[in-house]
Amino acid sequence: MKGLTIKALAGLGTAGATGTIAITTWYLSRPKDVKAKLKSEGLKLVGDSVRAWRAIFLTHKGNAEFIRFAGILESDSDKEAGSKVMFSCKQILNVASGDENYEDFLSKARSYCTVPQFKTIETKILFSDKEPSSVDRDWKDSFVLNKEDPSFIEKVKKSSQAGTSFDSSTSTDIAKDVVKKFCEALKVKFPESQDVLDYERYCLQTPTNIEAFFEKQGYYLVKDGSWGSKFDSIKSTDSSLFDEIKKGTALSSSSDGTQGGPKLKEWCDLEKVKEINAISDLKKIKSRCFN
């Protein structure tokens, strides 16, 4: 029974059969590798989320030993570095307890391959598999979606020191920079509950277009063959419908679905691929193009 200590073997002589069984049971049930040992200690492993490993990198990136452990280069992006950390951890988690470097690998795995105490909102958000805002579209969309909320305007103004000139009428080209500044300041804060909620509400990556935006909310584009009935269902309540979709044809409340359906589909096909910030009336798009 290779691996039993001299003290344990000596105990077998006095413990008798009961002691032998107990020690044998312990030996057979002990953790067989680094992963099993960490789990036996109650530590939580990171998992397979690419964003989660980016969070691990951002948490430890100031640690030179960690950088060497993962083989991270100065030129690596956050995503590339996170992938290297994941690869390195996957390797050492499978190291057997009998390996001569087991204790060293176990120590590194405890430090770098388990869920840490997150120090920033950004790392906490990434670990929850949500993507932070990173491009102009995200910040423009955030402004358009939230500009009628007074609390949003006040929070952004206060954080970015934008002054009274920042309000719901600010152009998106100007607003995006103000919102970006707000989000950049927020993401490095310690993850207190209200700040995390604000970041999740205002500073996450937005859908690439209108169709993706509504699908995320559980609405889907009208199916082929159903545009006529969709037209019939909204023509009596949508006062601007006919003028906006007719494109040279004569449409009115007396037009039926066979006339209006194709024109409605044509209009929605153009609108659905636009960015959120390019639309002035999202409710109108939803009513006309989605179920």
Three state DSSP letters for 236-263: CCCCCHHHHHCCCCCCCCCCCHHHHHHH
Structure tokens belonging to residue 250? 């004569």
CA–CA gap between residue 208 and residue 83 (Å, rounded):
25
C-alpha distances in angstroms, 276 versus 129, 144, 145, 152? 23, 8, 8, 18
* 110-135 tens-digit pLDDT: 999 999 999 999 999 999 999 999 99
pTM value is 0.84
Q: Which long-range contacts (CB under 8 A, 24 or more apart) does 253-260 make?
A: 255/231, 256/228, 256/232, 257/227, 257/228, 257/229, 257/230, 257/231, 257/232, 258/228, 260/228, 260/231, 260/232, 260/235
What's the pLDDT score for residue 30? 77
Instruction: Give every residue of the chain whose pLDDT is below 70, as ranges.
Output: 1-29, 162-164
Query: Do 114 and 35 form a contact (C-beta atoms < 8 A)?
Result: no
d(CA 70, CA 85): 5
Q: Following DSSP, what letter does each residue of 206-245 receive, concatenated?
A: PPSSHHHHHHHTT--BPPTT-HHHHHHHHTTT-TTHHHHH
115 exposure class (CB count in 10 Å sphere: 0-12, 13-18, 19+): middle
pLDDT (tens digit per residue) in 193-202: 899 999 999 9
Residue 133 corresponds to which tokens in the numbers above? 């805002």
Contact 214, 145 (CB under 8 A): no
Report CA-CA distances (Å) from 98 to 101, 103, 278. 8, 10, 61
Name the 3-class secondary structure at 190: coil
The pLDDT of residue 121: 98
Query: With contact defined as beta carbons under 8 Å apart, do 198 and 183 qualify?
Result: no
> What's at 150, amino acid-wise?
P
